[in-house]
Amino acid sequence: MKIKVIVTLKNGVLDPQGKAIQQTLNGMNFGNVEDVRQGKYFEIEVKEKDEKKAKSLVDDMCKKLLANLVIEDYKIV
């Protein structure tokens, strides 16, 4: 089963790459872009048929490795 995870920086944590992307977009005449936050996306193939179990496993993976909870939030989608 494939489980998808999105990891993003927490609100309030400086995202210099997002800022650079926003400024570039503004410079390309996308003047209405007010903010960009960059994140990471994972597709994790888990050998597990029960969706609840698979998601709970991935939740553990997020806490232990995929996200650093000092600055990042994760969302299993």
Partner 1 sequence: MRSSVIIFPGSNCDRDMDVALKKFGFKNQMVWHNDQSIPKSDLIVLPGGFSYGDYLRCGSIASKSKIIKSVIDFANSGGLVLGICNGFQILTETGLLNGILQQNKFLNFICSNVFVKVKDKENKYFKNLKKNLLELHIAHNEGNYFCSDDELKSLEDNSQIAVTYCGADGTENETTNPNGAIKNIAGIFNKNKNVLGMMPHPERMIDKYLSGEDGSLFFKNILDNFK
- Token couple for 7: 């990891």
C-alpha to C-alpha distances, 44 to 17, 24, 38, 59, 62, nearest whole angstrom: 25, 32, 20, 11, 11
Beta carbon nearer to partner 1, 23 or 56: 23
What mask of x and - would describe binding to partner 1 in positions 22 to 61, judged by CB under 8 A?
A: ----------------------------------------
CA dihedral 67, 68, 74, 76 (to 10 degrees): 30
Residue 11 binds to partner 1 (criterion: CB under 8 A):
no
**Interacting residue ranges for partner 1, rule: CB under 8 A:** 13-14, 16-17, 20, 65-66, 68, 70-71
